[in-house]
Amino acid sequence: MSNGKQRSAKFRKPMKTALVLALASMTLLAACSSKSDKGADGGANGAGERVTLKVEVFDRGNSPAGATITDNYLTNYVQESFGNPNNIKVEYVPVPRSEEVEKLNVLMASGGNVPDIVFTYDPNTFHRYAKQGGLLDVGPLLDEHAPNLKAFLGEEVLQYGVYEGTQFAIPAKRSNVGKYASFIREDWLEKLGMPVPTTTDELYETLKAFKEKDPGETGGQVIPFGMTIASAQYEPLIWSFIKPTTEEEAFTLTQQLGSNDYPTLLPGFKDALQFMNKLYNEGLISKDFALDKDKKKMGEDIANGKIGFYSEDDVNPFYDNGSLDTLQTNIPGANLKPIDVFQNSEGKYAKPMYAPNGMYIMIPKSSDRAVEAIKYLEWMASEDHLFHMQNGVEGENYTLEGDIPVAIENPSEEALNRMFNSGDMAIISNGKQLGSMEKNLEARALQFPKPFYDQVQEAQRIANTDTFAPIVLDRPIEAQTKYGTTLLEKFNEMIVATTMAKPEQFESTYEKMLNDYMKSGGQAILDERTALYKELNG
Amino acid sequence: MSMGAYLRRYWQLYALIALPLAYFIIFKYGPMYGIQIAFKDFNFFQGIGGSEWIGFEAFREVFGMRDFYITLRNTLMLNFLDLLVSFPAPLILAIMLYEMKVVWFKKLSQTILYIPHFISWVIIGGIVLQVFGTQSGMINNLLASFGIEAIPFLTDKYNWLVTYLIVGVWQSAGWGTIIYLAALTGINKELFEAAGIDGAGRFRKIWHITLPGLKPTIVVLLIMNLGHMVSIGFERPYIIGNMAVREFSDVLSTFVYRIGLESGQYTLATVVGLFQAVVGLIFVLGSNYISKKLTDESIL
């Protein structure tokens, strides 16, 4: 008995020691990590001492050999042209492009290592940060340090960065606001002797002919209409069914989820779903479209010549080694013709366009390098820095024709690798900026392989035809910030469920999905927008 | 023995336990500090300490969300079905492997059965699409060549459930046999010989010797599985699931991902996490208690 007691007493003591040891090792670990944190912060802001400016950068995992996303031609250019003269070390913090919001949230919440310049395409994320008081008011800094940047962006674009009266973000400027065009297999039309469809009804007839006559000789594998659950594929179709609305209806019934406007409650939306349902049940769209979130499967099917028609971001099919390029390698003689076909009740090819701003560039309130951050953006907007970042080196990457830079046709490996992250480094602009929309579009078309030049121009013209702008809200709708992500999934789910329902079950499926959508935040958005409209219009 | 002498003599043991102990303190107990987020209006920029206390307000909000109940139902449903299908599978496989007498074939089968465990869900997701797709999946292409209409394995919710379960078994069953095979080596071989002399056939032996020998292992694993009833991995439902079957595939982990990481509402996400932990604890204690009463086997 006494023996056992003794043993347990003995046992307890070492246990305590072990615990103390463990705790001690923990503190040691903690001490180590906090030490390294300090080291990364760079020197104290002593006079003339070199400081570190941390800038977020999107990582698409496409760095060429010999370069990384944080160390490449453009980062060196920034360091030499901007960093060294100002005694600033510019350090890039990579964030994976596909999870920008998630990673940015984690970065911001982690406190210590937040970059001095962060950005997002998602207005709700911007609003949330502003509301929680995490962002710096950049208005005064812009006035003091950034005359060129302000002139470059202009009043209209800057407005998008205002949250409840304060300039909490610097929105990038978009060079081109067109979004979508549709594409049809021209060779299939010729083979069937059919005209290019110009209305939704004609398109339906064409799709049926594609299905029945299989002009691509796919052996029954034909997918007349390429569809996915990415917005580029369904938006042109859906918006063409939306009926004319009053300004009040448009304001109150539109739902902004993420960065796009959605027509969930607008009159005509149900008709669009009904049409999708018909297409699906007649086998005109892929049975697996609901599985295709990232357009990968559709891309494959286009390249393999199974798809007859689809809608897409205007110039998307025309990249080097892109859809059309691969299609023509696989099937000689195949061609994609850009067309405008989804006509609304007013005879217009109504489709959404982008807001004039690109992503929201923000400086966290906790940043010690706000002035340097603004100076960096100002530097980018000054002299020919932006031009250089977007176009590279004259003679190696481009030649000037008039004042439009034309990409050199067979650039050296080195020249090509120079520009791999151009779009993600030139953050103040979305797309090439040459002073006017016409020039911007021309320059964009010239970037593409020569044989596709006319098609690219046509697609761009279509993307800018009959467009309507996103609705500008003078104040953020809180319910949209809160429920946006959830509702966006519900919206996609609604499209999928109603499209795939049996025709006789369409009605009940639609009711069920809409009900769920409204209860999950749709109603809250509607109420808030209605209240705001009343407030603004008396 | 004095304290010093004791430590000198056994220090290796304490050194061994120090690392796991540190692991649990740092990664399991340390983060519990963050649980308070569930009771605070968490603000990124003020940090945990600086955010305002809001009591149970966030709980009221979560318990008022439709998606919470749908995802909770789906989590329980998927886990329960998984328990029915995936729990017995490794047991049966282990017994079959144990009964195999040809050594090279046994080794080969084991290796083949383990492999899926090492494949990431992202890859499995791709394979599933290629095999089970409706438009151009392998199985449906085969069916089509016989003139049979395509089966929507992935886009009809009930079919999807079956696919989900089968893929789960395929991925995990082989790996799960390891524990059982280890337990089986502990069974006294003489029992089998004695039973053989008494005229017992193969199935009699399995029923009366193998299974009773595995009983403690089975019970422990079952209790641990029940503890995980309300928690579910993120990857499998997220990757195997899709928009068409969201009614079934949206589970608590994807819900937390959506409201927490994607929408930045960390308070709500923490509430769900805490809820899962508490219910999980109740389940473990409850099943442990019942098992103790019924079979005398328990883990506590």
Mean of the per-residue pLDDT values of chain B: 88
Q: Which residues on chain B are in Cβ contact (under 8 Å) with A484? A: 263
Q: Which residues on chain A are in Cβ contact (under 8 Å) with B66? A: 516, 519-520
ipTM: 0.84
Beta-carbon contacts of B245 under 8 Å, excluding residues fewer than 6 positions away, are B154, B155, B156, B157, B160
| A18 closest CB neighbour out of B18, B134, B266 | B18
Asked if the C-beta of B159 comes within 8 angstroms of chain A's C-beta atoms, the answer is: no
| B67 closest CB neighbour out of A132, A223, A520 | A520
The pLDDT value given to residue A48: 67
What's the CA gap between B150 and B133, in Å, rounded? 9
Preferred mutation among A276, A287, A362, A508 to probe B, highest tally of B CBs within 10 A: A287
User: Quick count: other Cβ atoms within 10 Å of Cβ B76?
Assistant: 16
Please indicate whether, in this complex, the C-beta atoms of A520 and B243 are within 8 angstroms of each other: no
The pLDDT value given to residue A239: 94
Prediction pTM value: 0.82
What's the CA gap between A481 and A256, in Å, rounded? 9
Interface of B with A in 122-141 (CB under 8 A): 129, 133-137
Provide the greatest CA pair distance for chain B. Answer: 84
Query: What is the DSSP code (8-state) at residue B31?
Result: G
Q: Which residues on chain B are in Cβ contact (under 8 Å) with A111? A: 47
Calculated CA dihedral for residues A375, A379, A382, A384, nearest 10 degrees: 180
Residue A18 vs residue B187, higher pLDDT: B187
| A519 closest CB neighbour out of B22, B66, B242 | B66
CB pairs A-B closer than 8 Å? 121
- pLDDT tens track, chain A, 538 positions: 344 444 444 444 444 444 444 444 444 444 343 333 333 333 334 446 888 899 999 988 888 888 888 888 889 888 988 988 888 899 999 888 878 888 888 888 776 778 999 999 888 888 888 888 889 999 999 899 989 999 999 888 898 889 888 999 999 999 888 999 999 999 999 999 999 999 999 999 999 999 999 998 888 889 999 999 989 999 999 999 999 989 899 999 999 988 889 999 999 999 999 999 999 999 999 988 998 888 888 998 999 999 999 999 989 899 888 889 999 999 998 999 999 999 999 889 999 999 888 899 999 988 888 888 999 999 999 888 898 888 888 888 888 887 788 877 777 888 888 888 888 888 999 888 888 888 888 888 888 888 899 999 999 999 999 999 888 877 788 898 888 889 999 999 999 999 999 999 999 999 999 999 999 999 999 999 999 999 888 7
Query: Can you read off the two tokens belonging to residue B249?
Result: 């595939």
What's the CA gap between A257 and A479, in Å, rounded? 10
Q: Which residues on chain A are in Cβ contact (under 8 Å) with B267? A: none
Q: Which residues on chain B are in Cβ contact (under 8 Å) with A25? A: 18, 22
pLDDT digits (tens, 9 = 90+) for A379-408: 999 888 898 888 888 888 888 887 788 877
Q: Which residues on chain B are in Cβ contact (under 8 Å) with A297? A: 129
Q: Which residues on chain A are in Cβ contact (under 8 Å) with B135? A: 223, 286-288
The pLDDT value given to residue A181: 94
Preferred mutation among A33, A114, A296, A486 to probe B, highest tally of B CBs within 10 A: A486
Please indicate whether, in this complex, the C-beta atoms of B134 and A128 are within 8 angstroms of each other: no
Shortest CA gap A194–chain B (Å) = 27
For B59-77, what is the mean pLDDT? 91
Domains and CATH numbers, chain B: 59-295 (1.10.3720.10)
The pLDDT value given to residue A111: 67
The pLDDT value given to residue A448: 86
Beta carbons of A281 and A502 less than 8 angstroms apart: yes
What's the CA gap between B263 and B164, in Å, rounded? 27
| Exposure b/e, B172-199, CB count within 10 A at least 16 = b | bbbebbebbbebbeeeeeeebeeeeeee
Please indicate whether, in this complex, the C-beta atoms of B266 and A134 are within 8 angstroms of each other: no
- Count how many Cα atoms sit within 13 Å of the Cα of residue A111 in the half-sphere of its side chain: 11
Question: DSSP alpha helices (H): ranges in A41-83?
Answer: 73-78
Helix, strand, coil in percent for chain B, rounding step 5: 80, 0, 20
Q: Which residues on chain A are in Cβ contact (under 8 Å) with B10? A: 14
Terminal-to-terminal C-alpha distance of chain A: 88
Asked if the C-beta of A482 comes within 8 angstroms of chain B's C-beta atoms, the answer is: yes
Please indicate whether, in this complex, the C-beta atoms of B244 and A497 are within 8 angstroms of each other: yes
The pLDDT value given to residue B63: 92
DSSP codes of every residue in A410-463: S--HHHHHHTTTHHHH-TTEES---SSHHHHHHHHHHTS-GGGHHHHHHHHHHH
User: Quick count: other Cβ atoms within 10 Å of Cβ A78?
Assistant: 22
Query: What is the DSSP code (8-state) at residue A293?
Result: S
What's the CA gap between B191 and A378, in Å, rounded? 84
Domains and CATH numbers, chain A: 51-175+357-435 (3.40.190.10), 180-352+467-536 (3.40.190.10)
Beta carbons of B234 and B125 less than 8 angstroms apart: no
What's the CA gap between A407 and A448, in Å, rounded? 8
| A286 closest CB neighbour out of B3, B6, B135 | B135
User: Quick count: other Cβ atoms within 10 Å of Cβ A526?
Assistant: 19
Nearest residue of A to residue B150 by CA position? A287
What are the beta bridge partners of residue A90? A53
